[in-house]
Chain A
Amino acid sequence: SQQGEEDPQALSIQEGENATMNCSYKTSINNLQWYRQNSGRGLVHLILIRSNEREKHSGRLRVTLDTSKKSSSLLITASRAADTASYFCATDAGNYGQNFVFGPGTRLSVLP
C-alpha cells in the first residue's frame, strides 16, 4: 500500500535552478526520509527528518516537515545535470522502523 503521495510526478528544470518536490501522507509517522534513484538502479538515502523536527539541511538539500498537514517538501538548490533522477519520500509509521512505505516518486530532469 502507498502512504506517501509525491507532487509533481515529473519536473523538468534548467541547470542552476531550484527544484521543489512535495510529499503528502495519511497516517502518523515516526520519521520521513527522502531517497534518490538513478534510472533502474538502487536507491540512495538523502536525508531523514524525525516527526518532532520541522526543517533539516544537508548540503544543497533542504527538507521540511509539517505533521499537522501531513506533508513534507524536498528542495534541491542550484541543481545540476547529475541531479537527474527519481526522488521518493518514504514514511516510517513505527514497528521499530520496519514498515517502510514509499510514495510514487517525482522524476526530476535537470537540463544542461
Chain B
Amino acid sequence: DTEVTQTPKHLVMGMTNKKSLKCEQHMGHRAMYWYKQKAKKPPELMFVYSYEKLSINESVPSRFSPECPNSSLLNLHLHALQPEDSALYLCASSSPGQIYEQYFGPGTRLTVT
C-alpha cells in the first residue's frame, strides 16, 4: 500500500469554526509532513513530524495546530482561520533517512469564508 489518504477532500468553514484535517498512511513511514499550497504556487512546508515528534515548525500561525497521535496518523487542527488561509493542504510521508522521496496525499481543498 503506497497510498496517503486525506479527509475531507473539501472543507468550507467560517472564521469562528474549529475543524480538523486528517491524514493516514500505512507504509511504515516515520516522517509526516503538512504543506500549504496556494493556487499556481509551490507547496510550502508547514510542519514535519519525525517518529511522532514535531521536528520542524516553519513559523506557522498558532491557529494551525498539528498533532501526530501515532506513526500512521497526522492531524491538522484549525481554529479562527482567516480567508487568506484558503488553500490546498497537502499531507506527505517518507522514511526519515537521509535520502528519501515523499509520498503525497490528494490534499484537502480548504475555503475559509
Per the CB 8 Å criterion, the residue count for chain A at the interface is 27
Which of the residues B55, B98, B102, B109 comes within 8 Å of A45, measured between beta carbons?
Answer: B102
Instruction: Indicate whether A105 sits within 8 Å of B42 (C-beta atoms), given known contacts A43-B90, A43-B104, A97-B94.
Output: yes
Q: Is B107 in contact with A42, judged by CB distance below 8 angstroms?
A: yes
Per the CB 8 Å criterion, the residue count for chain B at the interface is 30
CB-CB under 8 A from A104, the residues of chain B are 41-42
**Which residues of A, 75-90, contact B by the 8 Å Cβ criterion?**
88
Smallest Cβ-Cβ distance to B99: which chain A residue: A31
* Residues in A lying within 8 Å of B, measured CB to CB: 2, 30-31, 33, 35, 40-45, 48, 50, 88, 92, 95-105, 107
Which A-B residue pairs are the 3 nearest by beta carbons?
Answer: A102-B42, A42-B104, A45-B101
Q: A41-B106, A41-B107 are in contact. List 20 more A-B contacts (CB 8 A).
A: A31-B99, A40-B107, A42-B105, A42-B107, A43-B43, A43-B90, A95-B56, A96-B98, A97-B97, A97-B98, A98-B31, A98-B55, A98-B56, A99-B45, A99-B48, A99-B56, A100-B102, A101-B45, A105-B41, A107-B40
